[in-house]
């Protein structure tokens, strides 16, 4: 005897599939639209200081840091910061100093800790060496093109701009886990940013690039204001917008290395990411389940007991998901990567659900507890 589906569940399933399908279409449109140039780069470029907090070095560190030294820009300074004089990143800095003798380098070696966020502590220790009033913060694993500074610094000449940030692309090392990690960035996180930006939101800021004037940084209380925040980049944007200043999303696209060495490392990194978003925007995060297209549409089909409308919407959701992937990856795609799409989206959906059950995150070799305001408290040092 065949069970009869409850009409309420059927309609719920169809609605779930519809929402997942519609988001997939919107996300594809959003990533297909190019960000318009800011139009600020024609004025005389201001001298800038690039702040590069460092902690350790890997095989990409030299190329990443070198790209910031090799800029087509008239006057800039680079300040590097480490906690320990034995940090291997200092060897890379000395190599760059020899290769680019005309670049204005400064290095801060300082173990003083200001709050629980080690990167922000590093920035606080670096600030006395910053000579210019236009500052650009960027993570150590970012690689940029030669026109990066010209395009990023220009909008800061507008007094109504608080910060300038930019989108980024994850570039995976060889292997399955880095590939899945890059898909999380390129095919879920950044499309969600593009959708928000297309809707007019500028409630974001990314550690890959934050450009800010010293005067604005002083007005919000300096880096000390975010010394206990996990998402220090997001908070900097939020604090500047509270002053009535705009956040500019630059047309620049930078690249960041994705080097997850195991499934466990991938899960820990993405859970930290998701729990950070949850702490910052709890309501929006709770509703973002529709962004995990195929598994959510598939769940809708199950609830609807295979109803034809839900099945049709699942097919459209799957098609738009492939189109999104092809739009992001282009010629770099492969049949294997397309076959991984259901696995990637299902893993994201599972981790989204898991993120509601705990507030602890692992950041490098330390475990933290994330507060409801996005602050972090050290729970355990995992260093051997």
CATH number at residue 237: 3.90.550.10
Render pLDDT for 205-251 as a digit per residue (tens, 0 to 9): 999 999 999 999 999 999 999 999 888 999 999 999 999 999 999 98
The answer to the question of residue 143 being in a domain is yes
Q: Cβ contacts of residue 149 below 8 Å, gap of 6+?
A: 45, 48, 50, 71, 72, 73, 76, 136
Which two three-digit tokens encode residue 149? 């500074």
Give me the percent of the chain exceeding a pLDDT of 70. 94
Q: Which of 131, 142, 132, 152 is nearest to 65 (CA)?
A: 142
What pLDDT score was predicted for residue 263?
95
| Strands of 157-298, DSSP E | 161-172, 210-213, 246-258
The answer to the question of residue 384 being in a domain is no
The answer to the question of residue 253 being in a domain is yes
The answer to the question of residue 108 being in a domain is yes
Contact call for residues 161 and 259 (beta carbons, < 8 A) = no
Q: Which of 187, 264, 263, 216 is nearest to 24 (CA)?
A: 187
Contact call for residues 364 and 116 (beta carbons, < 8 A) = no
Q: Which of 376, 351, 176, 353 is nearest to 268 (CA)?
A: 351
- Is the pLDDT at 7 greater than 90, yes or no? no
Helix (H, G, I), strand (E, B) or coil at 130: coil
- Is the pLDDT at 199 greater than 90, yes or no? no
Q: What's the total number of domains in the chain?
A: 1
Q: Which of 213, 212, 236, 234 is nearest to 224 (CA)?
A: 236
Q: Which of 42-51, 54-63, 207-216 has the lowest mean pLDDT?
A: 42-51
Instruction: Return d(Cα 322, Cα 294) in angstroms, integer.
Output: 10
How far is the CA of 107 from the CAs of 103, 129, 149, 348, in angstroms? Answer: 13, 8, 20, 39
The answer to the question of residue 324 being in a domain is yes
Contact call for residues 297 and 20 (beta carbons, < 8 A) = yes
The answer to the question of residue 102 being in a domain is yes
Confidence of residue 373 (pLDDT cuts 50, 70, 90): confident
Please state the separation of Cα 66 from the chain's center in Å: 21
The answer to the question of residue 383 being in a domain is no
Could you list the residue range(s) of the whole structural domain that residue 308 is in?
1-378
Confidence of residue 153 (pLDDT cuts 50, 70, 90): very high
Q: What is the mean pLDDT of the chain?
A: 90
What pLDDT score was predicted for residue 1?
35
Q: Going edge to edge, which strands form the sheet with 360-363?
A: 360-363, 366-370, 376-381
Q: Which of 33-37, 269-273, 278-282, 289-293 has the lowest mean pLDDT?
A: 33-37
Render pLDDT for 91-140 as a digit per residue (tens, 0 to 9): 999 999 999 999 999 999 999 999 889 999 999 999 999 999 999 999 99
What pLDDT score was predicted for residue 380?
61
The answer to the question of residue 370 being in a domain is yes
What pLDDT score was predicted for residue 149?
95
Q: Which of 46, 235, 82, 350 is nearest to 94 (CA)?
A: 82
Q: Which of 208, 230, 232 is nearest to 220 (CA)?
A: 232
Q: Which of 9-13, 26-30, 167-171, 224-228 has the lowest mean pLDDT?
A: 9-13
DSSP 88: T
Count Cβ atoms within 10 A of the Cβ of residue 238 and give its class: 0-12 exposed, 13-18 middle, 19 or more buried. buried
What pLDDT score was predicted for residue 334?
85
């Amino acid at each position: 005897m065949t069970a009869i589906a409850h009409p309420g569940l059927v309609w719920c399933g169809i609605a779930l599939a519809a929402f997942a399908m519609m988001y997939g279409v919107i996300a594809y449109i959003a990533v297909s639209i190019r960000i318009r140039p800011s139009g600020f780069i024609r004025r005389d470029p201001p001298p800038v200081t690039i702040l590069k907090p460092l902690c350790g070095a890997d095989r990409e560190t030299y190329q990443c840091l070198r790209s910031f030294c090799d800029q087509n820009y008239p006057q800039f300074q680079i300040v590097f910061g480490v906690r320990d004089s034995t940090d291997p990143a200092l060897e890379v800095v000395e190599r760059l100093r020899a290769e680019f003798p005309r670049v204005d380098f400064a290095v801060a070696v300082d173990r003083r800790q200001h709050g629980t966020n080690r990167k922000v502590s590093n920035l606080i220790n670096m600030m006395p060496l910053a000579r210019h009033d236009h500052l650009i913060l960027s993570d150590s694993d970012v690689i940029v093109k030669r026109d990066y500074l010209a395009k990023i610094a220009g909008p800061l000449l507008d007094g109504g701009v608080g910060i300038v940030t930019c989108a980024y692309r994850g570039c995976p090392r060889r292997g399955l886990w880095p590939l899945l990690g890059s898909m999380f960035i390129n095919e879920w996180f950044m499309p969600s940013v593009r959708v928000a930006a297309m809707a007019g939101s500028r409630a974001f800021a990314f550690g890959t690039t934050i450009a800010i004037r010293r005067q604005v940084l002083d007005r919000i209380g300096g880096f000390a204001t975010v010394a206990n925040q996990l998402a220090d980049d997001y908070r900097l944007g939020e604090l500047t917008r509270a002053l009535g200043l705009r956040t500019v999303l630059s047309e620049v696209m930078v690249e960041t290395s994705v080097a997850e060495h195991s499934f466990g490392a991938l899960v820990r990194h993405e859970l930290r990411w998701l729990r950070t978003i949850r702490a910052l925007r709890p309501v929006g995060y709770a509703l973002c389940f529709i962004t995990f297209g195929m598994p959510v549409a598939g769940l809708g089909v199950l609830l609807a007991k295979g109803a034809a409308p839900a099945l049709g919407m699942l097919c459209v959701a799957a098609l738009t998901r492939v189109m999104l992937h092809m739009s992001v990856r282009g010629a770099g795609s492969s049949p294997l990567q397309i076959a991984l799409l259901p696995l990637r989206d299902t893993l994201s959906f599972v981790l989204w659900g898991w993120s509601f059950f705990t507030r602890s995150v692992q950041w490098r070799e330390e475990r933290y507890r994330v507060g409801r305001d996005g602050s972090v408290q050290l729970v355990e040092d995992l260093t051997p």
